[in-house]
């Protein structure tokens, strides 16, 4: 045990801003739980990295990996296999027209990189708009469109990146007469500022339908359509990053379905591989044709890899056969009710928000002033871990009091009850201390 942590400290590059790892050695994972080297069982309320929507080591996924690793694992990137074409067709079938063309990659950052690269080539523009609390990845273009963290110390970002205000109904900046968020006025202001700085070369607007790292902030109904219209008026393409919201987590197959706003380009990642490295870019035949005619290049080592594509097909099978969109809606409503019940007993709970099984819980020092409680969030996270629950507090500056709760879609009501009980106890213990 001592060698493990000393070896980790000596040899591992620390890759989060805080530089801290969860102080447990994880030996295995199954379903909604991970198991530590000292025999503890931890309820995983984050689905790994918000990815393992079928739980850990789902039998169907395990069988697919074993079969595929033994028969067809990796190919030259210019070769095609049946799992790749099947997954592309099935993704297209699950989406509205005209989203019919699919590029299979590995990570969310890579998918967003490809989407932005495609948008720039197709439009001839180079300007990219995203939210001031955005997180789209750590590669160049994706990081350039990320504002919630990680911008300092790396030199200048690519020219043409613009941040616009994030619509936050709990902490509104533009308000109506009754104090609610006036998102229409906020959005008009955002594009007024953009227009003043733009050189008339908008390539894309890239946003999440629900900002996750930004604090689990759901876009108000109507916002996405207005954003799309503002983007199109300026010649740009709308890219929706559904890394965490896609494939049933919100109660719909895709989060954009609530608003009836299909993007020009859709990116998928975390949930598509259910924990394995698989991502997708989906767009229209028209956009793909223009990109191809202009020499679109995104030739990577693991583009169209057959093994993870086979896993993606299995994920779609399970989501469809077990109707996990409906299950996520049911479990999400159950979880949110439970959290609101907790808020009646714990005055530090300021807000419960989200959709389906992507739920945000914000802690505050005072409900009237809504003063953030970052230190409290850290303490509650630690106490939850001691009691057997892994919770994920948003790691971004000034957002340490916001929990991202994203259990597996295969969770049971009993497992959600267990998580609520542990959270209740942790809040009680920390408040008393």
Q: How far is CA 310 from the centre of its chain?
A: 22
Does residue 366 have a pLDDT over 90? Answer: yes
Other C-beta atoms closer than 10 Å to the C-beta of 129 total 27
The Cα 419–Cα 397 span in angstroms is: 26
307-355 pLDDT, tens per residue? 999 999 999 999 999 999 999 999 999 999 999 999 999 999 999 999 9
The Cα 187–Cα 174 span in angstroms is: 10
Q: How confident is the model at residue 190 (pLDDT cuts 50, 70, 90)?
A: very high
Backbone angles phi, psi at 246, to 5 degrees: -75, 160
Structural domains in the chain plus CATH codes: 2-58+323-432 (3.90.1150.10), 72-321 (3.40.640.10)
The Cα angle at residue 12 between residues 212 and 403, in degrees rounded to 5: 20
pLDDT, mean of residues 230-246: 98
The Cα angle at residue 176 between residues 175 and 180, in degrees rounded to 5: 65
pLDDT of residue 17: 76
Tell me the sheet residues that pair with 105.
279
Tokens of 167: 């619509």
Does residue 215 have a pLDDT over 70? Answer: yes
Does residue 252 have a pLDDT over 70? Answer: yes
Does residue 254 have a pLDDT over 70? Answer: yes
The Cα 367–Cα 261 span in angstroms is: 35
58-78 pLDDT, tens per residue? 999 999 999 999 999 999 999
pTM over 0.95: yes
pLDDT of residue 196: 98
The Cα 329–Cα 334 span in angstroms is: 9
Secondary structure of the chain in HEC code, one letter for each residue: CHHHHHHHHHHCCCCCCCCCCCCCCEEEEEECEEEECCCCEEEECCHHHHCCCCCECCHHHHHHHHHHHHHCCCCCCCCCCHHHHHHHHHHHHCCCCCEEEEEEECCHHHHHHHHHHHHHHHHCCCEEEEECCCCCCCCHHHHHCCCCCCCCCCCCCCCCEEEECCCCCCCCCCECCCCCECHHHHHHHHHHHHHHHCCCCEEEEEECCEECCCCCEECCCCHHHHHHHHHHHCCCEEEEECCCCCCCCCCCCCHHHHCCCCCCEEEECHHHHECECCEEEEEEHHHHHHHHHCCCCCCCCCCCCHHHHHHHHHHHHHHHHCCHHHHHHHHHHHHHHHHHHHHHHCCCEEEEEEECCEEEEEEEEECCCCEECHHHHHHHHHHHHHHCEECEECCCCCCCCEEEECCCCCCCHHHHHHHHHHHHHHHHHHHHC
Residues marked active site are found at: 135, 208, 241, 244, 270, 404
Task: Name every residue whose Cβ is closer than 8 Å to that of residue 193 and which is 6 or more positions away in sequence.
Answer: 164
pLDDT of residue 189: 98
Does residue 394 have a pLDDT over 80? Answer: no
14-42 pLDDT, tens per residue? 998 777 899 999 999 999 999 999 999 99
pLDDT of residue 398: 59
The Cα 151–Cα 333 span in angstroms is: 36
Does residue 433 have a pLDDT over 90? Answer: no
Task: Name every residue whose Cβ is closer than 8 Å to that of residue 9 and which is 6 or more positions away in sequence.
Answer: none
pLDDT, mean of residues 387-414: 87
Backbone angles phi, psi at 58, to 5 degrees: -60, 130
Backbone angles phi, psi at 412, to 5 degrees: -100, 165
């Amino acid at each position: 045990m001592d060698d493990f942590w000393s070896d980790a400290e000596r040899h591992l590059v620390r890759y989060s801003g805080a530089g801290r790892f969860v102080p447990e050695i994880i030996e295995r994972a199954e379903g909604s739980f991970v198991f530590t080297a000292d025999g503890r069982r931890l309820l995983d309320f984050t689905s790994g990295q918000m990815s393992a929507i079928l739980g850990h080591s789902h039998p169907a996924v395990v069988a697919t990996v074993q079969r595929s690793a033994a028969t067809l694992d990796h190919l030259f990137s210019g070769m095609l296999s049946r799992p790749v074409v099947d997954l592309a067709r099935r993704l297209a079938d699950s989406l509205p027209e005209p989203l019919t063309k699919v590029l299979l990659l590995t990570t969310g950052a890579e998918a967003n990189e490809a989407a932005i690269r495609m948008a720039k080539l197709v439009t001839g523009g180079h300007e990219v708009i995203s939210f001031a609390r955005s997180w789209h990845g750590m590669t160049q273009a994706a990081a350039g469109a990320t504002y919630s963290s990680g911008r300092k110390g790396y030199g200048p970002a690519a020219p043409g990146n613009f941040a616009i205000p994030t619509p936050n109904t709990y902490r509104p900046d533009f308000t109506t007469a009754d104090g609610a968020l006036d998102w229409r006025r906020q959005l008009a202001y955002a594009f007024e500022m953009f227009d003043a700085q733009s050189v008339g070369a908008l390539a894309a607007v890239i946003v999440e339908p629900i900002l996750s790292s930004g604090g689990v902030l759901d876009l108000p109904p109507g916002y996405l359509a207005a954003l799309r219209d503002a983007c199109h008026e300026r010649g740009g393409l709308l890219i929706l990053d559904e890394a965490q919201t896609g494939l049933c987590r919100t109660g719909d197959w895709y989060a954009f379905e609530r608003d009836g706003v299909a993007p020009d380009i859709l990116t998928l990642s975390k949930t598509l591989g259910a924990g394995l490295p698989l991502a997708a870019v989906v767009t229209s035949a028209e956009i793909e044709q223009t990109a191809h005619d202009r020499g679109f290049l995104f030739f990577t080592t693991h583009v169209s890899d057959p093994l993870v594509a086979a896993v993606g097909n299995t994920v779609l099978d399970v989501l469809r056969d077990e109707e996990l969109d409906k299950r996520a809606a049911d479990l999400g409503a159950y979880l949110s009710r439970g959290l609101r019940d907790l808020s009646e007993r714990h005055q530090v709970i300021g807000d419960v928000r989200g959709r389906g099984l992507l739920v945000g819980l914000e802690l505050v020092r005072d409900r009237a002033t809504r003063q953030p409680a970052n230190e409290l969030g850290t303490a509650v996270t630690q106490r939850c871990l001691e009691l057997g629950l892994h919770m994920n507090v948003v790691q971004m500056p000034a957002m340490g009091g916001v929990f991202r709760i994203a259990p597996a879609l295969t969770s049971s009501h009993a497992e959600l009850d267990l998580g609520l009980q542990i959270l209740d106890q942790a809040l009680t213990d920390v408040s008393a201390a």
